[in-house]
Structure 1
Amino acid sequence: MTDLPGSIDATAEMLAGQGYVSPRALSTVVFLALKLGRPLFLEGEAGVGKTEIAKAIAAGLGRRLIRLQCYEGLDAASAVCDWNFAAQMIAIRTAEAAGGADRDALKGELFTEDYLIERPLLAAMRPQAGGAPVLLIDELDRTDEPFEAFLLEALSDFQVTIPELGTIRAPEPPIVILTSNRTREVHDALKRRCLYHWVDYPDAAREMQILATRAPEASARLTAEVVAFVQKLRSEDLFKKPGVAETIDWAKCLVALDTIQLSPEVIADTLGAILKYQDDIQKIAGSEAARLLSEVKREAAFT
């Protein structure tokens, strides 16, 4: 376990040590969230690195990362715990075969920790050998308002209640990171419990740094062309603009193809690495890709 960073610069260094290039504003809000023990709510487009922040914090601090992946229909029971019904049935059959087990005693034995299946929220409330874990509640906007209300209560007191076992309270509050792709608005009451930061697409200089860190095998020229082209793509009217994750994937694909520099043919062959919707691919493929590449080379004076 590593001590919490003592400054904004130390926070940026910790994230950089895990391959996450953090702008000053993001490093500041991460530092404050850690220092004050407040949940951190991160919003932004998909693929801009929100989930990676939680991973970098966990790795940098040497803490366990517990991830609750949200989805439509997620309820409190699925997020906290479940009972191992198969094992309980076997215990019941075994008791019956042994001949007339006391029903009350058997009921007490069935609803114990031995038959409990921990889900992420309960796991985050348990003591951890390496210190309080990092609890990542990912894509909260996919859930509905009843789950938000439950989560608000759980994060207020850092405790969960299991009817059969009672209330379980975290001995040390977990480090909570919530993310949202903003497919819908999250309720203000939950946001007020958190520090907030909008994670935007990086500018060209920062995206160059990210590629140098995450795809160092790409040449300086290829990295510059890839970043410039992706930056151009984001200014186009697309259904889904490419995120940082797509930039990294594309650079790695180009390296795997031994690409030295971009060409219209290479772009056409690899558009599926950066654009994930057929309408977007059709719009950019062909003459449009050639036009964008021509602008990139002209503006950067590539030869």
Structure 2
Amino acid sequence: MSTPPTWFASPADAAARLGESGYLADAATATTAYLAGALEKPLLLEGPAGVGKTELAKAVARATGADLVRLQCYEGLDEARALYEWNYKKQLLRIQAANAGGGPEGGGVDWDATHDDIFSDEFLLTRPLLTAIRREEPTVLLIDEVDKTDIEVEGLLLEVLSDFQVTIPELGTVTATRRPFVVLTSNASRELSEAVKRRCLYLHLDYPDAAREHEILQQQVPDLDDRIAEQVVATVARLRELELKKAPSIAESVDWARTLIALEIRDLDSTAIRDTLSAVLKHKSDHERAVKELKLNRA
């Protein structure tokens, strides 16, 4: 039996290489990323939107030189969009061509031969799950926002998550020759099944503490003045304490910092916060609540 590929040599190696790729991983994240590769188990990332779940999968791909295959989940996602489907139009054309070229008396060709022909790889349209399973190159499979799908879709994932294989009735079982690094993300809008959770390593990602968010801002917005960075981190932390429809994520913090640089704002006072709040809050009710709670009304 061949030795499975090593994604990271150690948790420290994972932290260092993810950092070089632009993702600042804390100890828990680096350790779990290392274990997901070493144990060849899918990694389930759960937490609020915008804390870096999807970005972690992208960072693993960048850090390891792997290709990223992404399945974006949504309500109504089905097997044809997640696993595979047959190219029915092409199959029909082949059947018509086979019948047209029948025997000398115009009879059709043998159906078994035609069946074996049209249910072959030539007529198979692979979707993200099957694509990732069939690849021989290092691959990161991102199953993004799995909580947005119907619960029935989780059944489609079990075979992939357990055995890294897909069963196609007409062709048989396709087993991964090189297991992908699988990352599932969830915003916890609904509870995932225990069957899915059992097959995964689990990591909850939350908003970073002030020191780490400051470090992220310095990395992502290198031109940002250190004093402004501290003000952004402190103000975002205050906003997250409010009962908002959508609390600002790390991405919004970065956008806000870039906005302040573009406007050449060197002090995040009440006027500056009020005038640039739209870069951070994306709902009218949240904007109004922040203005009220932070006392940002114009004098």
| Alpha-carbon separation, structure 2, partners of 1:273 and 1:107 | 57
Please, which of 118, 121, 137 is the counterpart of residue 113 of structure 1? 121
1:180 Cα offset (Å): 0.6
Bigger mean CA deviation after superposition, 98-107 or 28-37: 98-107
C-alpha contact 2:57 2:140 (8 A) present in aligned 1: yes
Q: TM-score, normalised by structure 2?
A: 0.88
Distance change in 2, residues 1:257/1:106 (3 Å): farther
Q: Which runs of 5+ in 2 are unaligned?
A: none
Structure-to-structure mapping, 1:242-261, within 5 angstroms: 242-261=248-267
Q: What is the identity, as a one-letter code, of the residue corresponding to 1:116?
A: L
1:286 Cα offset (Å): 6.4
Distance change in 2, residues 1:145/1:258 (3 Å): same
SS of 1:262 mapped into structure 2: coil
Distance change in 2, residues 1:84/1:217 (3 Å): farther
| Alpha-carbon separation, structure 2, partners of 1:85 and 1:222 | 58
2:146 paired with 1:140: yes
Q: What is the identity, as a one-letter code, of the residue corresponding to 2:19?
A: A
What corresponds to 2:49 in structure 1?
46
What corresponds to 2:136 in structure 1?
128
Distance change in 2, residues 1:265/1:127 (3 Å): same
| Alpha-carbon separation, structure 2, partners of 1:41 and 1:64 | 19
- Count of residue pairs the alignment pairs up: 288
Q: What is the identity, as a one-letter code, of the residue corresponding to 2:70?
A: R
| Alpha-carbon separation, structure 2, partners of 1:226 and 1:152 | 42
| Alpha-carbon separation, structure 1, partners of 2:21 and 2:55 | 10
What corresponds to 2:160 in structure 1?
154
Find runs of 4+ consecutive structure 1 residues off by over 4 angstroms.
92-101
Q: What is the identity, as a one-letter code, of the residue corresponding to 1:125?
A: I
Please, which of 171, 175, 184 is the counterpart of residue 181 of structure 2? 175
What corresponds to 1:6 in structure 2?
9
| Alpha-carbon separation, structure 2, partners of 1:172 and 1:211 | 37
2:281 paired with 1:278: no
Q: TM-score, normalised by structure 1?
A: 0.87
Measured against aligned partners, the alpha-carbon deviations of 1:234-280 in whole angstroms (never above 9, x if no partner) come to 11121211111111122122222232222333333332221122110
RMSD, aligned α-carbons: 2.2
Distance change in 2, residues 1:212/1:224 (3 Å): same
2:182 paired with 1:191: no
Q: Which runs of 5+ in 1 are unaligned?
A: 292-303
Bigger mean CA deviation after superposition, 17-26 or 96-105: 96-105
| Alpha-carbon separation, structure 1, partners of 2:128 and 2:160 | 12
2:61 paired with 1:58: yes
Query: How high is the sequence identity, in percent, across the aligned residues?
Result: 47
Q: What is the identity, as a one-letter code, of the residue corresponding to 2:201?
A: L
1:212 Cα offset (Å): 1.0
C-alpha contact 2:43 2:201 (8 A) present in aligned 1: yes
1:29 Cα offset (Å): 1.3
C-alpha contact 2:274 2:296 (8 A) present in aligned 1: no
What corresponds to 1:222 in structure 2?
228
Structure-to-structure mapping, 1:282-301, within 5 angstroms: 282-285=288-291, 288=294, 290=296
C-alpha contact 2:136 2:178 (8 A) present in aligned 1: no
1:97 Cα offset (Å): 6.0
| Alpha-carbon separation, structure 1, partners of 2:183 and 2:110 | 44
